[in-house]
Structure 1
């Protein structure tokens, strides 16, 4: 019997767009070797593809293209107000890649970028040079994996190893690498450093299966987190963003019980807690692209240009989770997105 279902989509990375100016860069050559069957298309500038009009993020998430480019304008930025700084004054984030292999419905990248395709800036050496200038002036706390999941893409470009090596060599630098990946094997191979914080976003299984498409399961993430701790890395758990659902109290209680049945709370570096919040402009775009998504179309409140849950929901969720966490760890290690407790 012949199936009537037709697959109209290419495989992920079946097409690679390469800026002409970096086609001979060593990292470009290394990446292309890993994808020998891809069709390679030379372009003048990554924005010609990434920023073209009338793209469908929903369709592109089924078959992402890869764009290799040169970052010419710097990629280190001061931390945004909706992000936690964990008590660090000189808080920055870095964007050496744009977009994620995963497809979380609530991800702000869907509102920030016009495309679901992935951009890799192959000239990471220029990012390091830019950062070294800052490090001559002050200590830096840098989140390197906000705009992409570098751990999930390690097989492709090896940036996690590059960042660890750079951090080990620069005592004024502390980095956070955030992920929803299950790549625990990396922490057996890479040198542990107390200034490289591995941060795992953890959600209830119900939330992960409903909204965090293509990610590792929460159980797999916890396995990777345990391997990282056992290997000597500081590990942060990010219960952020918390997502409201009909039975959220029981879902988050079960999640916390499961977390601390598998991990030793005393080994954790710290944890973060925060309910979903997003720029009004990002959410407007997401609602246009994802009009069938329950999490995107929830009736949030607009407070100062950022959409959030109504105050009662927000406070009930965050306060309950903080109280649950206090049973396992001191409040000094529990951070919320507004302030340290």
Structure 2
């Protein structure tokens, strides 16, 4: 590694590691202009930093570094069976960014990645080329924000705008951008389109305050949804993961009521429901990193390598939340994830 520039700590990323191959990409220059005070470190490969042994995930999460890299693949992958496809065939996802600026206690990323540092793959155009190849053969349903929260990064990254413009130009492509962001200003830079879905993940205020660290409040997310509707966007609501917290029936009933007091149901495309679930091997890492977490150390049961609530517990919370939601949303428009 060679340090090119060393300056004072900046507002978020104190250090930016850059693969030599990634240095001259336009997005690299844009990001560096946004973080002029970051110390720049040149590296040969992002894994030299991201995959180092004996990293402290929790400590890194407090002051993460940014790594700019070139993805050796196109970054387009077939959708996982653990994720909902909302009735769409040809389900894919893309991972242009690894890791998230938020710190949700239940998030599987902390079990999947060896580092809390964030990787941005700067060769976004390669993903576009791969999608165009797929579109010559079939329609495509693409999720762009599973392994990060792209909208939360939009002020300095701009990838949501790029994907949004790509969707507008390719009507056989449907994109979902899932988020917990409340960044209303970033919505104004996007173009509303029927094939570009903004999907907000919502949790009861008590869950947000207890487990979704550094995320916008429940109320602020509703404000962002209201603005998105006003601007004409297609909106999906995601209640996933559902958690069996104390007084969970009361918490979810009050949350649904609060949502539809502010958000007209007619403006919601559809809704998803899913109980907390995580691969067992991820959970081993997550529990080791956060030994005090109540949500991680719940006595889950294992089924086909996935940890979740006992089947009767899952069925109870899914059935109850489905019942509540049908007061506002047609059941045909509610997608329930079940093993």
Q: Normalising by structure 2, what TM-score?
A: 0.96
Q: Bigger CA drift: 308-317 or 37-46?
A: 308-317
Using the alignment, how far apart are the partners of 2:133 and 2:116 within structure 1? 32
- Are the counterparts in 2 of residues 84 and 338 from structure 1 also a CA contact under 8 Å? no
CA contact (8 A) 1:12 1:62 kept: no
Over aligned residues, Cα RMSD in angstroms? 1.2
Q: Please give the alpha-carbon distance, in whole angstroms, between the structure 2 residues aligned to 1:66 and 1:188.
A: 26
Q: For residues 159-185 of structure 1, give each alpha carbon's deviation from its aligned partner in whole angstroms, at most 9, with x where no partner exists.
A: 010000001111110000000000122
Q: What is the CA distance between 1:290 and its match in structure 2?
A: 1.2
- 1:270-285, aligned counterparts within 5 Å? 270-285=270-285
Any idea what the Cα deviations from partners look like across 1:264-290, whole Å, max 9, x if unmatched?
011101010111011111111111111
**Alignment partners' CA distance in 2, 1:188 and 1:20:** 34
- Please say if residues 10 and 37 of structure 2, whose CA atoms lie closer than 8 Å, have aligned partners that are also in contact: no
Q: Give the corresponding residue for 2:337.
A: 337
The residue number in structure 1 matching 2:302 is 302
Contact 1:11–1:63 under 8 Å retained in 2: no
What are the within-5 Å matches in structure 2 for residues 1-341 of structure 1?
Answer: 12-338=12-338
Assess if the C-alpha contact under 8 Å between 2:300 and 2:310 holds in 1.
yes
Counterpart CA distance in 1 for 2:269 and 2:10 is 42
Cα distance in 1 for residues equivalent to 2:182 and 2:36: 25
Distance in 1 between residues matched to 2:330 and 2:22, nearest whole Å: 49
Residue 337 of structure 1 deviates from its aligned partner by 1.1
Distance 1:289 1:11 in 2: 26
- Whether the aligned pair in 1 keeps the contact of 2:76 and 2:93 (CA below 8 Å) is yes
Q: What secondary structure sits across from 1:312 in the alignment?
A: helix
TM-score of the superposed pair, with normalisation by structure 1:
0.95
User: CA contact under 8 A between 1:237 and 1:272: conserved in structure 2?
Assistant: yes
For structure 1, list consecutive stretches of 5 or more residues without a partner in the other structure. 1-8
- 158-167 vs 20-29, which deviates more? 20-29
Q: Counterpart of 2:3? A: none
Flag structure 2 segments of 5+ consecutive residues without an equivalent.
1-8
Taking the aligned partners of 1:67 and 1:21, their CA distance within structure 2 comes to: 12
